[in-house]
């Protein structure tokens, strides 16, 4: 009982602000170094994501070929944009939510959680890495898809789309922080359970189809998914070249989502961490 109370009340000493920023940067650099260690697997996953995006684009080619009055480029861009944006958002969600599983796999979870670093610094480093890594992957796949389909992006508002993704990042980071509790609570199946949350977001957010295609009883759920507003605004920027004035409404909604979900995610994660320390789940690896 005394050990449980000590684990629950333990708080590592904190350093100066510069030290905390250094710790967050260290987490970011460490994660990129881990990518270098498993570079062959990263190439495999990148190739899979690229093939998946091209396959979805080819569905658009087929649909356009069999639909009168429909622009081939418009259909392809609609589907490819959905695949690209979902790929970016999924990287954010997965990298944050599975950070605990990664630490457990590497056998460093106990040392990381007991280190004299604020938890927000550790999570901040993970989130920065997820944003940078997701952006690099998205740019690589977008260039490859544009070359494969000979897509014309001259009229697209790429800056506006990037701004939308940046605003959306915060809300998905918050969701990822909440999902990261699952691997803390269940070392065996927690990481797999995060895919349930991701799947629900995919279902209701109109990634590959319009929200209007959803059953009436399911459609209201799309209004509480940040991915819905991300996809709508980013598609307007990429397909129609919408200026910032037309995107600011959705960007404001995304920032509001982030303002609510990031603090909530940190709070939920802290509860899960205290539970894991109290029950000794941090000691389990594999």
Summarised one tens digit per residue, pLDDT across range 148-192 is 887 777 778 888 988 998 899 888 888 888 887 877 777 666 667
Q: Is 169 exposed, middle or buried (0-12, 13-18, 19+ CB in 10 A)?
A: buried
**Whole-angstrom distance, CA of residue 75 vs CA of residue 242:** 17
Tokens of 193: 């359970």
**Whole-angstrom distance, CA of residue 250 vs CA of residue 244:** 10
Asked whether 57 and 145 are in contact (CB, 8 A), the reply is: yes
How far CA 183 is from CA of 104, 128, 190, 198, in Å, comes to 9, 21, 4, 15
Rounded to two decimals, the pTM is: 0.76
**Whole-angstrom distance, CA of residue 126 vs CA of residue 117:** 13
The three-point CA angle 21-88-271 to 5° equals 55
Range picked from 20-29, 94-103, 165-174 for highest mean pLDDT = 165-174
pLDDT, mean over the chain = 78
pLDDT of residue 286: 46
């Amino acid at each position: 009982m005394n050990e449980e109370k000590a684990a629950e009340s333990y708080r590592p000493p904190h350093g100066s602000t510069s030290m905390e920023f250094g710790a967050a940067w260290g987490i970011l650099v460490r994660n990129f170094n881990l990518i270098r260690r498993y570079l062959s697997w990263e190439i495999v996953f990148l190739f899979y994501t690229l093939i998946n995006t091209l396959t979805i684009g080819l569905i658009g080619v087929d649909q356009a070929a069999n639909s009168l009055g429909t622009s081939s480029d418009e259909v392809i861009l609609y589907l490819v944009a959905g695949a690209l944006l979902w790929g970016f958002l999924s990287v954010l969600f997965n990298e944050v939510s599975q950070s605990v599983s990664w630490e457990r796999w590497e056998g460093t979870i106990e040392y990381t959680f007991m280190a004299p670093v604020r938890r927000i610094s550790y999570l901040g480093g993970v989130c920065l890495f997820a944003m940078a890594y997701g952006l690099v992957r998205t740019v690589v796949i977008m260039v490859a898809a544009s070359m494969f389909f000979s897509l014309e992006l001259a009229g697209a508002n790429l800056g506006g789309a990037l701004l939308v993704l940046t605003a959306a990042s915060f809300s998905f980071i918050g969701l990822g922080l909440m999902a990261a509790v699952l691997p803390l609570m269940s070392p065996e199946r927690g990481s797999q359970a995060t895919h349930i949350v991701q799947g629900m977001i995919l279902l209701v957010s109109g990634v590959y189809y319009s929200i209007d295609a959803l059953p009436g009883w399911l459609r209201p759920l799309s209004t509480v998914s940040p991915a819905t507003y991300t996809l709508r605004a980013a598609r307007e920027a990429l397909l129609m070249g919408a200026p910032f004035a037309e995107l600011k409404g959705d960007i404001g909604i995304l920032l509001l989502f982030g303002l609510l979900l990031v603090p909530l995610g940190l709070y939920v994660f802290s509860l899960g961490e205290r539970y894991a320390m109290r029950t000794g789940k941090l000691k389990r690896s594999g």
